[in-house]
Amino acid sequence: MEEKMGKANEQAKDKPSLLNRWLNGIEKVGNKLPHPISIFAILVLFVIVLSAVCEMAGVSATGELVNRSKGVVETQTVQAVSLLNGEGLVYMLTHAITNFTGFAPLGVVLVAMFGIGLLEDSGLIGGALKSAVEVTPAKLITPMIVFLGVMSNLADAVGYIVLIPIAALMFMAYNRHPVVGMAAAFAGVSGGFSANLLIGTLDPLLCGITNEAVKMVDPTYVVEPTGNWYFMMVSTFLITILGTIITEKVVAPRFGEYHGNGEENETSSEYKLNDQERKALKVAGLTLLVMILVLVAFCLPANSVMRAEDGTLLGNSPFMEGIIPIITVLFFVPSVVYGHMTGVYHGEKDVCNAMGRAMGTMSSYIALTFVAAQFINFFGYTKLGTILALKGAEFFRNSGIGTIPTMILFVLFAAFINLFMGSANGKWALLASIFVPMFMIAGVNPASVQVAYRMGDGITNNICPTLAYLAILLGYAQQYEPRAKTGTCIAYQLPYTLIAGGVWIVFLMIWIALGIPMGPGYAPTL
């Protein structure tokens, strides 16, 4: 009898919890999804067939749209256009290349990578993270880890690679459990894809896709990379505060002091700056400071060429229109200085090779861009996007739901989709073509729709079973908790998703209700 009960208890222990079963299901479904490139290829074929069906069925919609030839808003009736006829076939063949080369995010992101790519390749971003953590006192280690996690997305996903192991070692130095430090870092990096004090790689990428979708309604309207800047800056501090509170009050109490086995000190040196790196970091920082001062001096005069005709520096000005090349140069020069002083770069050939490597990391993005560009442009040519937007906007107006509840629903929808599809640009290319025109016709600024998407993406990034970097977190965690599994890591991240995500959504509601601009010149509503 006792033997049977023992076996039953063992089976109960081995039986996965409801949470783990749910997460396992999500992971299973997500892993079965095709590659984002394949998804868009399938969608392209679907749009081609659907356009023919809708044209034969006489599908149409009526609403207020911008007349491109006259430049005025007027009531128009839009009818579906088929791609499965002579004109449609000619369009697909003759516009395949221009759809790709004219895709707004492509050039912007590639230019940005010349600076941001070297930021990572030279080791400058890693050195800056190490230095910031080293000089941080014990009481501020948690907020600093979370803050650096948020800021690290300037160089794409470098925070996942560099900051997580550093956070573990720093927490051990203060006799705190390293897994707690990793949890805080991982939450900061994941949430950081939706927040930052500066313009990073994600901003030009997303706004480029947004602008392609905006063309279906108003080809004259443009969302600049700074379109979410105000909200993202404030969100940086919000995430840092919430991440700190959750770490200290919810996650940390599950762990006691960590004494370790003494082996970790053998590997900790690689996460510390040497004298050469410290000197290089100081010179690179000084170089950046001088460049910023020169830029400020150039922009300050009232007659500066960087200002708009009305004298403003923000909004529709050469400064804002050229913000990506400016940021590229600001990152490029200090990175070269740092790389040269640390011996990473010995001459111009090394720098050029580094630029080539930066472009090499974008190969998957370029391939995805080609297919996504065809989908978005086909969606526009067939008028299916416009029809869907008009009918969707009419539904929202007649439902009486209101702008704020609708935006919250979209945040939650984006968060749910993110659990199954990890590609941020891929998801947005799909969702933007549908929701941006729809919300725009309903009176919501495209910049606000973009913010809502970024929030949804950031809220569930840290619990996404299909996120490749979750495996990295698991690998590091198992060094200190050998029994840790994927479900374990996600369980530690759930408080950040539920608590911080909930507060963040409420914060968005207040922001929209007060009418605070999402970025310079971008009010929440049109």
From residue 121, how far is each of 155, 235, 285, 341, 393 by CA, in Å? Answer: 10, 28, 17, 14, 46
Nearest alpha carbon to residue 443 among 519, 322, 369, 524: 524
Per-residue model confidence (pLDDT) at position 157: 66
Q: Which amino acid is at 222?
A: V
Per-residue model confidence (pLDDT) at position 8: 42
Instruction: Identify the residue with better confidence: 202 or 238.
Output: 238
Residue 72 has pLDDT above 70, yes or no: no
- pLDDT average, residue stretch 375-400: 81
Per-residue model confidence (pLDDT) at position 477: 82
Please give the Cα distance from 127 to 73 (Å, whole number).
52
Per-residue model confidence (pLDDT) at position 431: 85
pLDDT 10s digits, 269-315: 556 788 898 999 999 999 999 999 999 898 888 888 888 877 777 66
pLDDT 10s digits, 232-244: 999 999 999 999 9
Whole-number percent of the chain with pLDDT over 70: 86
Whole-number percent of the chain with pLDDT over 90: 26
3-state secondary structure of 62: strand
Instruction: Identify the residue with better confidence: 264 or 273.
Output: 273
- pLDDT average, residue stretch 135-160: 82
pLDDT 10s digits, 306-353: 888 777 776 677 887 787 788 889 889 999 999 999 999 998 899 999
Q: Please answer whether residues 229 and 517 qualify as being in contact, where contact means their C-beta atoms are separated by less than 8 angstroms.
A: no
Per-residue model confidence (pLDDT) at position 283: 94
Per-residue model confidence (pLDDT) at position 6: 46
Alpha helix (H) residue ranges in 152-221: 158-173, 178-192, 202-214
Residue 23 has pLDDT above 70, yes or no: no
Q: Please answer whether residues 281 and 338 qualify as being in contact, where contact means their C-beta atoms are separated by less than 8 angstroms.
A: yes
pLDDT 10s digits, 75-123: 778 889 999 999 999 999 999 999 898 877 777 778 877 887 888 788 8
Work out the mean pLDDT of the chain and round it to a whole number: 82
